[in-house]
Amino acid sequence: MTTSDDTKKAPAKDPWELPDVSGLVVGVLGGTGDQGRGLAYRLAKSGQKVIIGSRAAERAQTAAAELGLGVEGADNSECARRSDIVIVAVPWDGHAKTLEALREELAGKLVIDCVNPLGFDKKGAYALTPEEGSAAEQAAALLPESRVTAAFHHLSAVLLADPEIAEIDTDVMVLGEARADTDLVQALAGRIPGMRGVFAGRLRNAHQVESLVANLISVNRRYKAHAGLRVTDV
């Protein structure tokens, strides 16, 4: 028998109630580059255990030693294996090859893709359209056993790296298929002072988010800025 109590809906969960990610190890593939190193620095500074990955372990170890903060360096494979959350911060042209080679190591892991497929010509930056729809969807196709999400596309590596800047004043659009995973990524973004992770849809809508970086690059060039984004009314 169904009572009126049974049919009552559970109260909606507060979307800002996010899990504690402080004990999770974060790996950064391509963490020797500007974006990966900047993210590694900010996350380690906020108390997260971070492992920088590289195609060459030695380069990762050098970058990690420069950052301090308990950051370790390893080749991309070891970085993926030892991490709970793996940020993909390699250039678009190395994206597919990097992920294909790490399919096993990344199985079961929460993967955060921040890759922006862009082209540049004399008119500036423009968005490329990957066959799969977006870099994030390419990652999901190549890593069927991983939990692929997308985030951190719009951050300025220059601001991330600047130790004089205490807070990064920006929102981070977070995309993914499973709410539990996007909640974890939002929580991770929220570890960095000034930053807030905002759920922004499923991976089929990652293309617009990745492409928007071409617009931000135009803004930066015109106004000599390091522009970020804020989503209002949430």
Ligand X SMILES: NC(=O)c1ccc[n+]([C@@H]2O[C@H](COP(=O)([O-])OP(=O)(O)OC[C@H]3O[C@@H](n4cnc5c(N)ncnc54)[C@H](OP(=O)(O)O)[C@@H]3O)[C@@H](O)[C@H]2O)c1
Chain residues that interact with ligand X, rule: CB under 6 A: 30, 32-36, 54-56, 59, 89-94, 98, 114-116, 153, 155-157
Take residue 42 and report the two structure tokens written for it: 């900010």
Q: Nearest approach, Cβ of 14 to ligand X (angstroms)?
A: 29
Q: Which is nearer to ligand X, 92 or 126 (CB)?
A: 92
Q: Nearest approach, Cβ of 203 to ligand X (angstroms)?
A: 16
Q: What is the 3-state secondary structure (H, E, C) of the chain?
A: CCCHHHHCCCCCCCCCCCCCCCCCEEEEECCCCHHHHHHHHHHHHCCCEEEEEECCHHHHHHHHHHHCCCCEEEEHHHHHHHCCEEEECCCHHHHHHHHHHCCCCCCCCEEEECCCCEEEECCEEEECCCCCCCHHHHHHHHCCCCEEEECCCCCCHHHHHCCCCCCCCEEEEEEECCHHHHHHHHHHHHCCCCEEEEECCCHHHHHHHHHHHHHHHHHHHHHCCCCCCCCCCC
103-131: b or e for each residue (b if 16 or more CB lie within 10 Å)? eebbeebbbbbbbbbbeeeeeebebbebe
Take residue 80 and report the two structure tokens written for it: 């993926």
Q: Which is nearer to ligand X, 100 or 145 (CB)?
A: 100
Q: Nearest approach, Cβ of 122 to ligand X (angstroms)?
A: 20
Q: Nearest approach, Cβ of 40 to ligand X (angstroms)?
A: 11
Q: Which is nearer to ligand X, 125 or 187 (CB)?
A: 125
Q: Nearest approach, Cβ of 114 to ligand X (angstroms)?
A: 5
Amino acid present at 40 = A
Q: How far apart are CA 185 and CA 133, in angstroms?
A: 21
Q: Which is nearer to ligand X, 58 or 180 (CB)?
A: 58
Q: Nearest approach, Cβ of 45 to ligand X (angstroms)?
A: 18
Q: Nearest approach, Cβ of 87 to ligand X (angstroms)?
A: 9
